Structure 1
């Protein structure tokens, strides 16, 4: 997004000589979007950033998906993907991701990690990784981000980085990988890119890299996810002669940053507010929203839980990551659950939730929602974590089961 930052040593004029103290030139790299027509940053490297000595196939974790057919709402218990013992300690936040859902625009994965990841860059699109719990340093070519519970970590396409978990608990990460750029909702932005007064957060809530990160190294491997010739997702392992974390300074409007969900100011009203009121980011053909603890509807006849609705143009994915989601009581939904409510199927509160919500003044709930405008398919992680009874939970509730 267009929020200028400058870190480290940069020359007073772009595209001019920038020399080391002993006189050698630094190497300027433009990292920019949309063919020199959108946001960019200039990075100054000690070594040539395009130098590689090897290029090999990286066999990605299983990226295959199967259609949601026959059509049904689905429930995935993501914590069941984590070993009961300390097996997570040897898993990293890149190669350990389990694909839950995906289509041609976005892939949603989950991982519980304890080991540092390899160096990695996503050449397909931006990544928005929500940290459910735990903490990590995210080391990037721009510098270090500290990620904690509740953080969204926004990583622009082709940003070389790695995840280094910290602390005694697993880093639980919900990765939303776009095939496009991921930005604040356009209606929150001025024509020049500033977050407007009605936006639920502002630039003060965004945390960029702390400063340049310089690392020595030779024959350094970087894993790259990118498009194959048939449009499929494939991987390559590059070997760089020197470490890519060699940037002495950079400036511009394109860089990784974090935003914590606690800094999202919910928009509320007298009657129920629709999901766009909860939007935080968007990509091509998908949006990202969050439902945070908030005061709820205060019309004297209001019904605070959502009305039943049909997503005629989209699939809705909810990741339940805190509090008590009132509308799903009795369905099996809990911490770490994901629900998929596909287009073509009306969905809404569980039986009994409608009436129970009347008179409520506050909802203590936390969830991340992704709405997609093309159908989602189920990945191998989703298939392993599926609760096969969820689709029938509304009917069970009407019969008095689980209400």
Structure 2
């Protein structure tokens, strides 16, 4: 977004000589989007950023997908991933945010991944698209070539394509540690940022936008080049995710590890309008009305062929005859993926959905409140709920993690509910119809 920033040492004029105290030239790198026609930043390196000493394959793991067929709504229980009953705390150890993430859902435009991490990640850049990482729980320090961030519960971190960075989770014993880091990773195959309708033609967030530049947290100084010290000249691996096919591809992606003859955090200064930033979900100001408002009022980000919305605690509809929960709706152009992260989601009561759940409501299926939720919501004035929703305009398929934690029951939840005050029974012979196999 066009919100100019300046960090460290840069020359008065771009593309001119910039030297260290000994007279050596720094190396200028333009990091820009859309072929020099969109936002960019200029970074000044101590070393030649193109210099790689070695390259080898990075096995990304299983990013293949399975179609949602037969077409049914699904409930995925993400908190059943990364469990290990034999481990202390009941979670797998030695997992990092980059190599440990598992694919829940994906298509040609976006991948939704989940990870519970306790280990520093390798240095990493995504060469396919921007990433939006939502921190469900826990905290971390995120180190980037632009500077560092301290992130915690409720933070969205937007990381532009090709930004070298690494994640260092807070662990037990660290100041500020509360619980393990749980991250919901939205990997775009495009750029991602505020919806265009929130922006002026020059890129400023407008008055009707539910957040503004004051709410954004930017890279914190000083630049890490000042602290690398003895590691500055040590060979360092950087893991790169990029497009590709063939023997090592999974889900249209391949991985490469570049070994640089120096530490990648060698930037002494940068300026421009392209950089990572953070928005906390608590700084999103909800838009409400007399009657139920449609999902676009909850939008926070957009990418190519998908949008990200969030539902936050808020006062609800104040028409005297209002029904606060959503009406039944058919998203004829999109799949709707809701990740429930906090509070008590009124519309899904009785469905089995709880914290850490994902609901999958595919295009072609009319969905809405569970039986009884509409009646129970009448007269309610406030919803205490936090959820992150991704709507895609091409069908999503199940990743290996999504298939592993599909409860297989959610599609029956509307039939199981109350109708006319009497319990409904499952239709006979339906035990296998919702299988993903």
Aligned residues: 402
Give the alignment's TM-score, normalised by structure 2.
0.90
Structure 1 residue matching 2:296: 3-state secondary structure: helix
Aligned to 2:220: 210
1:127 aligned onto 2:138: no
Contact 2:416–2:424 (Cα < 8 Å) also in 1: yes
Contact 2:142–2:166 (Cα < 8 Å) also in 1: yes
Structure 1 residue matching 2:415: 3-state secondary structure: helix
1:400 aligned onto 2:423: yes
Aligned to 1:142: 146
Aligned to 2:204: 194
Which has the larger displacement, 392-401 or 147-156? 392-401
Unaligned runs of 5+ in 2: 173-178, 426-437
Contact 1:88–1:170 (Cα < 8 Å) also in 2: no
| Separation in structure 2 between the aligned mates of residue 201 and residue 164 of structure 1, nearest angstrom | 28
1:321-340 pair list within 5 angstroms: 321-340=341-360
| Separation in structure 1 between the aligned mates of residue 127 and residue 154 of structure 2, nearest angstrom | 26
| Separation in structure 2 between the aligned mates of residue 61 and residue 337 of structure 1, nearest angstrom | 23
Structure 2 residue matching 1:312: 3-state secondary structure: coil
Match of 1:269 among 270, 282, 289: 289
Structure 1 residue matching 2:282: 3-state secondary structure: helix
Give the alignment's TM-score, normalised by structure 1.
0.98
| Separation in structure 2 between the aligned mates of residue 301 and residue 193 of structure 1, nearest angstrom | 40
Q: Deviations over 1:78-104 (max 9, x none)?
A: 000021434434110111101000000
| Separation in structure 2 between the aligned mates of residue 401 and residue 360 of structure 1, nearest angstrom | 26
Match of 1:306 among 326, 336, 345: 326
1:1-400 pair list within 5 angstroms: 1-83=1-83, 84=85, 85-86=87-88, 87-168=91-172, 169-211=179-221, 212-214=223-225, 215=228, 216-217=231-232, 218-229=234-245, 232-398=252-418, 400=423
Unaligned runs of 5+ in 1: none
Q: Deviations over 1:285-330 (max 9, x none)?
A: 0000000000000000000000000010000000000000000001
Higher percent of residues as strand: 1
| Superposition misfits of 4+ residues, deviation over 2 angstroms | 84-89, 398-402
| Separation in structure 2 between the aligned mates of residue 129 and residue 108 of structure 1, nearest angstrom | 10
| Separation in structure 1 between the aligned mates of residue 92 and residue 116 of structure 2, nearest angstrom | 6
Q: Which has the larger radius of gyration?
A: 2
What is the alpha-carbon root mean square deviation over aligned residues? 1.2
Structure 1 residue matching 2:413: 3-state secondary structure: helix
Deviation at 1:167, TM superposition (A): 3.7
